[in-house]
A and B are shown apart, each in its own frame.
Chain A
């Protein structure tokens, strides 16, 4: 059970406090409702590059990290297609340092040319390290535009190409900041060994004076329904053939999210799952297999992917997966199999809520979805799912004319 108290500042900043008296620590987390999906197609990778620039000094504070480390703190951030999230963990008695630092960069960044130049370099190296200099590293750069034709999910958070990052100008940076980094576009969650009044006072003191800015209204092109099977084959210098299959499904806030999640566990969530046993142990067609949902805030995906054994052809692999998908559609699963995947969620929820940082981030994430009141209902959402729901989901989602398939072939 995650406890919380909400309040709002006059400038529109939403603040949520989560008390935990058992820890000596406190966390201050700010989620900005901006991700790669808010970029223009000709200037991708910007939300993420911007996240790096947020550490390059703000209006009144030349360096973000130094004072935080001085107060015993640590920080980090991440960007996804949907959101950008910043978090600071420090000894509870020093929490004001985080209020001071985060409020100054919400007020205004320093916008130094040196920071932009250096972080462009850092991000380009990140692009190389994670997406280009790794076997299969560029799969999603190629797969996204196959699956999404209109929606900005068609590019990855890192960006479509290195050139977009190289070309980023200071003008772009400033424009992005004032458009997206306003108090109304953020959720702040403070958690740990603190008191509500203390958090209210600090929030008012440091964030209260930040002026409200024009509210950004998102207007993202919808992705039309997919009606034809899609396929892309790429050749790379890799040791094994790899296979990726995607189906469009509901978003993070739909009922399908929970059904799809259980369904992916049944298909390939563990060593007792259907595909693992059949394709890896019995038939030895694959050397790895996984199934998962992307859980995106808009236009989610159901993904099945794996590496093929040397002798397996793509046709074989695809046919084997379809056989299992057809089974899910054709017959109701037995109760024990369904209970199995539900029980695992029960355990993992208890462990995931042990971490203060996880709880705080989760609150921010739920508030950003507009679903904070449901944060403690997660297990009920899984529990109510029936075998019929799984079957119905499979029938709706797994259709041959709605599949997108990417095959990575071995370059000769």
Chain B
């Protein structure tokens, strides 16, 4: 047996995404349901258009989301939490810039009770003073701790630079915001964005029809109103931004990036492939050079983040203070190499095969499939999105990737932020 010869392999076939059944519950509240689940697990995602971009004062979206099941004067948060626990339920609060909501995890036998407790608490929420004060103390301490980390200082400054001052996407909280937020702000936000909003439900579980009826009943409570929201166009501050000095830091955080396009853009698939070559997986060029050749960092990667009103490309790492400038230089060297040299056929094939395998890993099981569907749903993508993506991976050539690198990764178009 010759161990230096690799066994045969074949390119991973694509996996058909299972689309959930769509059910109109009431008042425009939609349910997406995947029933074909082989175990007793049930996961229910309830999402509102209640992300931080809808707040008129910083932290309000966050606090409201965290406290919306914290009860009222008669029924304290601890009693609600106890009951959810008693039925074996798990509850997760979720918030990003666009959306916010809650995720319930339970079993077929108890999901109906868990949902009942959660929705009763939701209807009765009064944001009691004691809970509000607790959240203020807890959140502000956790903010102070996070603010000691160079990666967070760097990311906040990067967000500000990439989106500009006018865009809500670029804002980060400062310590004073924790004292400025008031109980009344939460009540108002809750009423306008949650109670008068239109939640979307994503359900993965082999539940009974009576549970679906229970969801319908709940949806009847909503009286949706349209939210007034106009996004400000982001405005990127390009070039190198002064280092954020952090006393006693022994590593520097680095962020390099730019504004990008949405997932419906014709260059999106190609750019994702280019991103993978540059920094999107363990074998990427940035990892190979800056970690595996130079040993400057524990990790470096690149990614693209797409939100409702803006998108960006980002390279991020943390490196020893003494090699910060060398690292930035190497990042630009790698970008330049993509612009001046064709990617070899072998490397391109490796990246394509890796990505095809990654699609399989991210579509394994009904919960993962629902996450793929949510991506399609929220980004308003065609149902053929994943098969189109896979087709594009097969078709893209090295020359096309070189052109994309020239088109989108010009040094002058990039913002560079460092901290530490």
Contact = CB atoms under 8 A, between A and B. Distances in A.
Interface in A37-71: 59-61, 65-67, 69-71
Interface in B89-130: 89-90, 105-107, 110, 130
B78 A281 contact: yes
Contacts of A281: 77-78, 130-131, 134
A119 B295 contact: yes
A73 B39 contact: no
A133 B150 CA distance: 8
A125 B297 contact: yes
A91 interface: yes
Contact of A69 (B148, B291, B354, B365): B354
Contact of A129 (B39, B85, B298, B354): B298
Contact of A125 (B89, B149, B319, B351): B319
B380 interface: no
Interface stretch (B9-17, B24-32, B232-240, B400-408): B9-17
B241 interface: no
Nearest to B38: A22
B292 interface: yes
A343 B298 CA distance: 39
Interface string B19-54: 000000000000000000011110000000000000
A126 interface: yes
B250 interface: yes
Contact of B137 (A61, A277, A287): A287
Contacts of B292: 118, 122
Interface string B59-93: 00000000000000000011001101111111000
B81 A272 contact: yes
A287 B141 CA distance: 7
A314 to B, nearest CB: 16
Q: Which of B77, B353, B367 has the most CB of A within 10 A?
A: B353
Contacts of A356: 364
Contacts of A343: 85-88, 110
Interface residue range, chain A: 35 or more
Contacts of A150: none
A122 B141 contact: no
Contacts, number: 213
A134 B249 CA distance: 9
A271 B350 contact: no
Given A65-B282, A91-B357, A346-B107, A133 B318 contact: yes
A120 B295 contact: yes
A89 interface: yes
Nearest to A96: B7
Interface string A266-296: 0000111000010011001001100000000
Interface string B150-177: 1000000000000000000000000000
Contact of B9 (A94, A240, A336): A94
A8 to B, nearest CB: 21
Interface residue range, chain B: 35 or more
Q: Which of A71, A75, A103, A336 has the most CB of B within 10 A?
A: A71
Contacts of B242: none
Interface in B171-190: none
A100 B131 contact: no
B144 A354 contact: no
Given A25-B364, A73-B357, A340 B85 contact: yes
Interface string B344-359: 0000011101101110
Contact of B82 (A125, A272, A346, A355): A272
Contact of B295 (A70, A121, A136): A121
A284 B85 contact: no
Contact of B85 (A99, A135, A272): A272
Nearest to B144: A239
B248 A237 contact: yes
A255 interface: no
Contact of A128 (B294, B320, B361): B320
10 contacts: A69-B351, A74-B357, A94-B10, A118-B292, A135-B149, A271-B81, A281-B130, A284-B137, A347-B107, A354-B367
Interface of A: 22-25, 59-61, 65-67, 69-75, 89-91, 93-94, 96-97, 99-100, 103-104, 107, 117-126, 128-130, 132-136, 205, 209, 237-240, 270-272, 277, 280-281, 284, 287-288, 307, 309, 336, 339-341, 343-344, 346-348, 350-351, 353-356
Given A23-B365, A72-B360, A104-B3, 18 more contacts: A22-B38, A69-B351, A70-B6, A70-B350, A71-B353, A94-B12, A100-B6, A122-B291, A124-B295, A125-B319, A133-B250, A205-B1, A271-B81, A284-B133, A336-B86, A343-B87, A347-B90, A354-B365
In order of increasing CB-CB distance, the 8 nearest A-B pairs are A121-B295, A72-B357, A343-B88, A239-B144, A272-B81, A60-B3, A272-B82, A271-B81
